[in-house]
Structure 1
Amino acid sequence: MNIQEYIESGILESYVLGSTTAEEAEVVEQLAQAYPIIQLEIDAIRDSVEEYALKFAKTPPPELKTKVMNALLELEEIQNVNTPPQTATPETNLVSFTPESKKSSFSFGYAASWVLLAMSVLANWFLYNNWQKSEDKVVALESQTQILASSERALKASYQENINILLNPETKRVQLGGQKPAPEAQAVVYWNSATQEVYLSSVKLPLAPEGKQYQLWAIVDGKPVDAGLLDNPETFEKMKSLGNAQAFAISLEAKGGSTTEAGPKGEIFVLGNV
């Protein structure tokens, strides 16, 4: 017997849902005892069904519950009225199909049909309600997918732009090394003298204290020029454009930075020549 084929046949799902015949259920139980993998699969299916039921469980309308309960009470009353008292006899019990029993069976079936109808309405309402929820989830998921796709396209475009900048032969890479306040600090400046674009990357600096902020400087004709404050020092960040520079440096300034006229007021953490 191929156990995997038996598991994939769907019989275990039918068994868990109670739709197998008595003979089929008996076979499933025997095989579950003989093959632990089948029992594990049954347990997994039960857990999935229970998880699904708990996830989508919702209280049915009160009027539907009332109809079901009334039908059950009517069924119980019919059984009580039409069931004669039983007396224990040594004789074998036989089912007698008298006109009265037929009438009782008809009434019993009538009441049972009401129960089945009510349960059917409940099931249909349950399925429709969850279908509506699924539709809403699909719409929300499609919207999220579109947003993610748009974000992905924008991110790819940004990456491509960064790559183009780095591959441009006019772009110079300037390595900034750590100074006395932080010997292990470093950063990299990418500067294109033709387009005057300046980018900062690979920044490794100590965490700025409260009320402080790092600032990039370009040394132009021997004087420091403000090249911008560092907002996201670990990313590839575009700074202020510069047409000429002999060196770059980063200092730790008060929040908001300093000006070109005032120059750096704080200590220089990294420095590098072009």
Structure 2
Amino acid sequence: MICALGSAVCFGTASVLQAIAARATAPGTGSGVDPALLLRAVRQWRYIAGLGLDGLGFVLQIIALRSIPIYAVGAALAASLAVTAVVSARLLRVRLSGVEWGAVGVVCAGLAMLGLASGEEGDTGGSTTLQYAMLGVAVGVLLLGAVAGRLPDRGRALALGLGAGFGFGVVEVAVRLIDEVSLGALVTNPATYALLVGGGAAFLLLTSALQRGSVTTATAGMVIGETVGPALVGVVWLGDRTREGLGWLAVLGFVVAVAGALALARFGEAGVGEAGVEGAR
């Protein structure tokens, strides 16, 4: 759980840096997902620093996913929005209302309940069918991004956010489906490609969401996409369980943590408007 929380700190701080870089990057000519946006964004040192934190967060996420249930890790990752809110208040001088500080406290309370109730990760191995299913979902995320530009502004933001969340959710499940890390086993395991495609697609959609459209809507969609689905997969197909008699506390903690994160959805854009970008340069 410590690794899961450390991952949330890394991801939440990275979001602030990447949001500034994405907003400071010249937009493309289209309205949808722009693959060249990543190439332009990596010229910003803040985006590179954010990627470094994302890399560290991913390592901590892998450790957590190999030790505790997916539902606990997913809720902790959703709590990265609380980290983003606090970092934004500190570095970008974004004022948090009393309700938003309360939402940060709610997230922490939900995570505390999850920490008390979580058991060990399930010992049920993922089937080959589930591995290919995750690869199919990852490809679906790419297709979703391809059509997002044809949607109205609000619909586009929600589609990008959900797509990014599904992509990150694929990564969470795929990590559990990779049992052997030898080169031969990785090459022949569909979950490896699901992880790569899902993670890459999620980064692309999230970067696009940070630059254009309603990022608040996109972030709310991302939180839902990366928590609910993977948690169900972990419980139903991978054998994730809670401590004896504490299933109710785990469910309550999960709902409370995710609800608190959704209340902080506007910080998916790190509170960075035009003035915030100019002031951070």
TM-score using structure 2 length: 0.22
TM-score (normalised: structure 1): 0.23
Structure showing greater relative contact order (alpha-carbon pairs closer than 8 Å, 6 or more residues apart)? 2
Give the structure with higher Rg (CA).
Answer: 1
